[in-house]
Copies of this chain bind each other. A is one copy, B any other.
Amino acid sequence: MSPRGRPDKREAILRTAFTVFAREGYAQATLDAIAAEARVAKHTIYNHFGDKQTLLRAALTAEADLARAKNMAAVDLLRDCVGDPRPALEAVGLRVIQCFCDDGGWALRRLFYAELPQFPDLLDIIEGRAASPVTEALADRLARLALAGQLRLTDPSAAAEQLSALLTGSLESRGRFGTRRIPEDEMRAVARAAVDTFLHAFGGERR
């Protein structure tokens, strides 16, 4: 199952397809438009992907991989955390929020959400490639911190879930569902507030 055709064209198609799909929606997006915007002949797209559905899956998979990589890099900031976990958590929080709010983040969630009923298998792509690995990685980091006595928690997965909820929960409405750009200061404030609440519940030191 080796990928057919020139790899540079292939990647140009994937990137363009994702942006067009996200901007116009799967049904409204025309292969002619994607071909034009990617500076490629329509036939080339069919050479590489066969049909429109396959192109959608491929484009979404690629973007999901990208999103996972960015988020994993953010969570990994917790690896070298010594002493007070608050600054590290805030840094990670900010990075996670930035991933959530960048163009790819909004577009990925929108496209996924929109086309899920038509393509139920997108669920496996997204969950397996982006969502689950990231929260599990975060849970791992929190477990280590707990073991080091810097957090007080029994269920790392549950704590990770709540931390991500606190971080990203308000962003949809704050960012007007992708139509508004959230300023850096606001992101930092959200991260700070989220970590503050999180540490009230799971912080190691008694108050």
Q: How far is the CB of A199 from chain B (nearest CB, A)?
A: 9
Closest to A27 in B: B27
Contact with B along A182-207 (1 / 0, CB 8 A): 00000000000110111011000001
Query: Known contacts being A200-B201, A201-B196, is A169 close to B179, with CB within 8 Å?
Result: no
In contact, B116 and A113 (Cβ under 8 angstroms): no
- Among residues of B, the one whose C-beta sits closest to the C-beta of A120 is B179
Partner of A169, one of B118, B123, B165, B177: B165
Copies per assembly: 2
What is the CB-to-nearest-CB distance from A182 to chain B, in angstroms, rounded to a whole number? 14
* Contact segment of A2-10, A42-50, A60-68, A156-164: A156-164
Of the residues B24, B170, B177, contact of A123 by C-beta under 8 Å: B177
Determine whether the beta carbon of A25 is less than 8 Å from that of B23.
no
Chain A: interface residue count, which band? 35 or more
Note all chain B residues with C-beta closer than 8 A to A59: none
A110 an interface residue at 8 Å Cβ cutoff? yes
The A contact surface, by secondary structure, is: helix
Per-position 1/0 for A1-38, Cβ under 8 A of B: 00000000000000000000011111110000000000
Mark A residues whose CB is within 8 Å of B: 22-28, 109-110, 112-118, 120, 123, 127, 131-132, 135, 158, 161-162, 164-166, 168-170, 173, 176-179, 193-194, 196-198, 200-201, 207
21 contacts between A and B (CB under 8 A): A22-B117, A24-B117, A25-B115, A25-B117, A25-B118, A114-B115, A116-B177, A116-B178, A123-B177, A132-B173, A158-B193, A161-B169, A162-B169, A162-B194, A164-B170, A165-B169, A166-B169, A196-B201, A197-B198, A200-B201, A207-B207
